[in-house]
Amino acid sequence: MAEFTPMIQQYLKVKSGYRDSFLFFRLGDFYEMFFDDAIKASKELEITLTSRNSGGEDRIPMCGVPYHSAANYIKNLVEKGYKVAICEQVEDPKDAKGVVKREVVQLITPGTVMEGNMLDEKENNYLASISQYDADIFAITYNDLSTGENSVALVNSGWDQVLGELFNRPIKEIVVSKELDKRYQYDLTERLQITLSYAESTEIEESFQSLVEELTDSRLKQAFGRMLTYIQSTQQRSLDHLKPVQTIELKQYMALDMYSKRNLELTETIMRKGKHGSLLWVLDKTVTAMGARKLKKWLERPLLQQTLLEHRYHMVEGFMAQFLEREALRDTLESIYDLERLCGRVAFGNVNGRDLQQLKLSLAKVPELKNNLKQFENKEVQALGNGVNSLKELHDMLDQSIVEDPPLTIKEGGIIKDGFHNQLDQYRDASRNGKQWIAQLEKKEKQETNIKSLKIGYNRVFGYYIEVTKANLHLLPEGKYERKQTLTNAERYITPELKEKETLILEAEEKSVDLEYHLFTELREQVKEFIPHLQALAEKISEIDVLQGFATVSELHDYNRPTFNNERQIKIENGRHPVIEKVMKNDMYVPNDVNMNEATDILLITGPNMSGKSTYMRQLALITIMAQIGCFVPCDEASLPIFDKIFTRIGAADDLVAGQSTFMVEMLEAKHAITNATENSLILLDEIGRGTSTYDGMALAQAIIEYVHDNVGAKTLFSTHYHELTTLDKSLDQLKNVHVRAEEFEGKVVFLHQIQDGAADKSYGIHVAKLAELPGPLIERASVILEKLEEPKTKKIQPTGILDDDQQLSFFVGEKKASGSEVATKSKADKQLQKSLKKINIMEMTPMQAMNELYRLQRLANEED
């Protein structure tokens, strides 16, 4: 340290407390970075890397960004998962004795972003924390600092459930203890790709105890304490907008594990990792940012309570029944700004005049919203308006105080209306009249001196002045003006009278600006008192928005209200996949029925590739999820049980980060399903076993089907290319074969995408290869090979004679006593069987291969009987 300049020593001292962050160190009009921060930032931000003298022998790396445009650079770093510590000058350089004092005033992290340009208005920005209490018991807490939302859940089924909870939620950062198992930390940073931060303290200050009053489990309080500790240490400002912590009772919601959320593409697609093409993309007909976030929360947690679902259906029905009234409601909602995040900005202290103007405009729409709801005949829709508080007092206060078009900055005046504060009006009057006097003085001086180009101007250094060009200096009366400044082509003067007015004007302007800022901060504190009411209003509006959105999308795409049954029956008439149907944008989509009564637990689906097996499976899951969030569903009619969990294994999704192959992922997902499913669950398994050899895969597929049938009893859709498995319907009572129709026409396959009872008769694999336009010679060669593989054996084994059912073949037990032609025939057949057996290498065969070979020999022997 001693070899560096005092300023660099100061930088290193501050940096030591923020080793995992970029330190934006304020120097004049720039935020500077040094050493490793500079090298890394220059690459990430694509800015020039320079160097500077540090007091030692070597120059040190350095880069910087202008403070007035730093927001975009900070956004860039935070979006990439980095943290940024803002170090400001906290004393006036004029008063500094030595190096100006600097301190970190804010730590901006991916999970604690508050700035509007860094937030997606339709998505929450969650900071999460994880606390472990036993081998399989974890507490997860969620906080959205931008809205003040807090929630906590207790997970008691192990780490996989934790990952399932975290996956597909907009979590940008996770706070853990440094003692958390390194394997778990690896999963969070590498598999979920979330920024990791640390906090050890779980204590909650007295001022925040009201947030956890409803929590009865001490573990949940401690878990929230860890998160709160981190928020306080990073933000160092008011957190008055934080809402009381809500407990998420996981047993009240459908369980969707990480695999199912990914495979079903509920909120983002697998390929593009974006909203377009997901179920959320189809369903989102909300018009407010609050509603969009609420919809995503509902989609993440489908309900299990039928009464709540029926309540939602009834309101959706009410909105659907009256199109014009619904459109009027949508227009009103569209004019309402993001109240949740406005509350956060008010509490955080970074609200400006335009934010308060947006708040006022939003509140002005609330009476209109209440009136919109009264126009509906549905009583439950009308009741939605009963709990809506228009907050007239707050609206009137803002209407009286804030100008219609306030500036962005709050420190340069122009925010407060005339007539709001008497002293401010006096200052403004003095300032305005003073400027009017200046204008009159300029006119008067022009007349007296006969200098038409004479003008009175102002700058921050010299104040007000009279400017005369050098060509007109001879016209000035001697001794009247006092020279102030000489320019190339002009002279600037002042007069005692002008100086006196300048003092009055500038003093009034300065005091006016200071008073406005003071009044604005007072107003902000008054608005803070309304935050709980504003948050409750936002909650109501977001719910109304989601329900009208359900009605809008249901009417647009011809969705219908589902019903629920307690008999574990699935009956869907003309069901459709909501996403594919929308993407096709025509009437080409082929709907299909799903019928699974009490006597059917498993549908074994066969059919060629590209025929629609996976689509059929997915559409059942999506219809189920839509039904259990309260939305109408894409079919003519649906009667469903309420599913407690959905498990899927659809598509090849290698988990290379975790070092797992496609087949290992298949087995892990299958194991997860069959060990966690109940008889009230839905399981979708697509082509299980295709990642290994044919016989291994077939054996595993059959064993899984049998296990689910005999031990789990869940409603299951199982698609396969192993046609041998279709015989299972003879031994498994609860299994039913269905297939996807395909027809061969002039050597080409035509996919009809229709599900019919029974097993498929062939796979059409080579036809699919033709559709993919593989080279002609390759297709021809494949056809020849297939023909050889399928041709029947021509050699017949001679009959060995009639044997009893419990009698073994003679080559195992020796010759049976016989006479004449019977013995000769039998001996010849035995020799042929022996010859066939000698060609088999039993030691290199799998159990399944051995069983198949034995079956072949037995079939040949029976043919000779």
Binding residues for ATP: 607-614
- Amino acid sitting at position 73: Y
What's the rounded Cα separation, in Å, for the pair 450 and 336? 59
Longest pairwise C-alpha distance within the chain: 157
What's the rounded Cα separation, in Å, for the pair 200 and 129? 11
What's the rounded Cα separation, in Å, for the pair 195 and 256? 24
**Helix, strand, or coil (residue 418):** coil
Length of the chain: 865
What's the number of CA atoms in the CB half-sphere (13 Å) around residue 132? 17
- Amino acid sitting at position 104: V
What's the rounded Cα separation, in Å, for the pair 862 and 865? 5
State the Cα angle at 509 between 508 and 514, rounded to 5°.
100
Residue 237's nearest CA partner among 104, 352, 349 is 349
What's the rounded Cα separation, in Å, for the pair 827 and 825? 5
What's the rounded Cα separation, in Å, for the pair 539 and 530? 14
**Helix, strand, or coil (residue 578):** helix
CB distance 204 to 150 below 8 Å: no
What's the rounded Cα separation, in Å, for the pair 86 and 22? 9
Sequence-separated (6 or more) residues with CB below 8 Å from residue 250 = 153, 154, 155, 165
Phi, psi (deg, nearest 5) at residue 465: -155, 155
Phi, psi (deg, nearest 5) at residue 51: -150, 165
What's the rounded Cα separation, in Å, for the pair 650 and 716? 13
What's the number of CA atoms in the CB half-sphere (13 Å) around residue 697? 17
> What ranges in 375-455 are assigned the alpha helix state H?
379-384, 392-401, 422-449
**Helix, strand, or coil (residue 109):** coil
Strand pairing class (715-719; 682-686):
parallel
What's the rounded Cα separation, in Å, for the pair 218 and 731? 52
Q: Which helix (H) or strand (E) holds 103?
A: strand 102-108
Strand pairing class (84-89; 22-27):
parallel
For residue 796, how far is the Cα from the chain centroid? 65
- Which parts are annotated binding residues? 607-614
